[in-house]
Amino acid sequence: MANTRDVAVGVVGGGPAGLLLSYLLNLQGVETLVLEARSRAHVEQRVRAGVCEHPTVELLRGIGVGARMDAQGMMHHGFSLRFDGRDHRIPLTELTGKCTTVYGQQEVVKDLVHAHEEKGLPIEFEVADVALHDLDSERPRITYTDAGGVRRELRCLAVAGCDGAHGVSRATLAATRPRVYTHDYPYAWLAVLARTPPVHGELIYANHERGFVLHSIRSHEVTQLYLQIDPREEVTDWPDDRVWEECRLRLTAEGFGLREGPLLEKSIAPMRSVVVEPMQYGRLFLAGDAAHIVPPTGAKGMNLAVADVRRLAYALRRLVRHSDPRPVTRYSESCLERVWQVQHFSALMTGLLHRDPAADDFARKLQLARLHNLTTSRAAATSLAEHYVGLPFD
């Protein structure tokens, strides 16, 4: 085929996983090409995650892409679990010596795109018709149509599937019949960005009879709110007045007064857990949301993508630079223990904080007992805090 080129690793998807993998590999002398379906402006403005774990922050800093995060990110040394109408603080730094950094995922993406640009590393935006071939050979291929409408072929040593839950990589791997574990939760999140100063300096995760609400922070002027809603509801069911009314009711606490402001964005996120096992087939390796989804309550999705990619970068370097296939052979196995730890934590946080419409009064009492235990036992709080700030990379 004309328009064919060779590259060591073809990276499908230019979200946090694909961009970080590409950058890490290039730092280690492994050439990549990132293929991204959307435009640069789109990926740089796609607002999603807000919390970076301690190991994520250290990694970004260590590879020289942390300057803006250090200048603009907000370090959080604790967060509150709000129930029974008052706050119960989990003092992260006191319990673990570590903190989290509130810094938007789109900012991490911007920093990584910029770092590619600075080093002249290629990212092709607005590609279409991406298809993966010969994955069970040592020379897999990716075909695609570039932004100018030209059909192209990329011959690689490995393909990194970093194209999220609905990309071509998971769909291609699905044809090899992996085991897929899924769990759907009986609620969704309405994500609301409001131009109003946050009324609390740390995140508040509130458990209320009417349902969960999270009060998070984007800047001194912008507050991010997430409300538990019925998964059948749509954004149009939530006019601004209803959003504020519900936030006020669910966040009720002494001395706490929510300040209303214009709502800048509203969107709905489903609540799902998914794990694809194994996360690889032949020379295709899935990372991030392509391999697994966690419900957002623990703020873990992007951070788990970072942990996968760190392992994949090492394994691919061994393959490409040292012709050592052993680490790639073990890639999925080496990721899955952390994946399930994070699934466990995210499911725990989700179950702890949401109102399950099918739960009876007994289940509700147990939920409150668990919350009390977590906020009165130092051992229980420490375990929660260790997961929240991020398990160390090994």
Least CB distance to ligand DHB at residue 259 (A)? 18
* Known catalytic residue at 187: no
Count of Cβ atoms closer than 10 Å to residue 390 Cβ = 25
Cα separation, 232 vs 363, whole angstroms: 23
* Known catalytic residue at 76: yes
Q: Residue 346 or 367: which CB sits closer to ligand DHB? A: 346
Phi, psi at 160, each rounded to 5°: -100, 120
Is the separation of the CB atoms in 124 and 146 below 8 Å?
yes
Q: How far is CA 219 from CA 75, 177, 194, in A?
A: 12, 44, 11
* 32-35/158-161 β-pairing: unpaired
Q: Is 51 in the site for ligand DHB (CB under 6 A)?
A: yes
* Angle formed by the axes of helices 16-27 and 301-322, nearest 10°: 30
Cα separation, 281 vs 314, whole angstroms: 18
DSSP H stretches of helix in the chain? 16-27, 40-45, 54-62, 67-72, 92-96, 105-119, 168-174, 240-250, 301-322, 326-329, 331-353, 361-376, 378-389
Is the separation of the CB atoms in 346 and 294 below 8 Å?
yes
Least CB distance to ligand DHB at residue 99 (A)? 14
Of the residues 10, 167, 178, 295, which one makes contact with ligand FAD according to CB under 6 A: 167
Least CB distance to ligand DHB at residue 119 (A)? 29
Q: 292, 296, 354, 387: which is the annotated catalytic residue?
A: 296
Instruction: Enumerate residues 191-230 that contact ligand DHB by CB under 6 A.
Output: 203, 214, 216, 224
The type of residue at 287 is: A
Is the separation of the CB atoms in 138 and 49 below 8 Å?
no
* Known catalytic residue at 322: no
Instruction: Enumerate residues 169-198 that contact ligand FAD by CB under 6 A.
Output: 189, 191
Cα separation, 22 vs 153, whole angstroms: 19
Q: Is 178 in the site for ligand DHB (CB under 6 A)?
A: no
Pick from ligand DHB, ligand FAD, none: which does 161 bind, CB < 5 to 8 A by kind?
none
Q: Residue 45 or 137: which CB sits closer to ligand DHB? A: 45
Cα separation, 293 vs 304, whole angstroms: 9
Q: How far is CA 26 from CA 44, 63, 115, 125, 308, in A?
A: 21, 11, 11, 19, 17
Q: Is 299 in the site for ligand FAD (CB under 6 A)?
A: yes
Q: Which residue sits closest to ligand DHB, CB atoms considered?
A: 50
Q: Residue 95 or 294: which CB sits closer to ligand DHB? A: 294
Site string for ligand DHB, 275-314 (x = CB under 6 A): ---------------------xxxx---------------
Q: How far is CA 233 from CA 183, 224, 334, in A?
A: 19, 20, 39
Cα separation, 186 vs 233, whole angstroms: 12
Pick from ligand DHB, ligand FAD, none: which does 202 bind, CB < 5 to 8 A by kind?
none
* Known catalytic residue at 300: yes
* Known catalytic residue at 239: no
Instruction: Enumerate residues 20-49 that contact ligand FAD by CB under 6 A.
Output: 35-38, 43, 48-49
Q: Residue 35 or 312: which CB sits closer to ligand FAD? A: 35
Least CB distance to ligand FAD at residue 94 (A)? 22
Least CB distance to ligand FAD at residue 268 (A)? 9
Which of these ranges, 46-54, 66-74, 282-290, 374-382, lies near ligand DHB under the rule CB under 6 A? 46-54
Is the separation of the CB atoms in 302 and 48 below 8 Å?
yes
Which of these ranges, 9-17, 177-185, 237-245, 326-334, lies near ligand FAD under the rule CB under 6 A? 9-17
- Closest by CA to 8, choosing from 163, 167, 138, 143, is 138
Q: Residue 167 or 178: which CB sits closer to ligand FAD? A: 167
* Residue ranges binding ligand FAD (CB under 6 A): 12-18, 35-38, 43, 48-51, 105, 127, 130, 162-164, 167-168, 189, 191, 269, 288-289, 296, 299-303, 305
Q: Which stretches of the chain bind ligand DHB, using CB under 6 A?
A: 49-51, 203, 214, 216, 224, 296-299
> What residues are annotated to the active site?
76, 205, 296, 300, 388
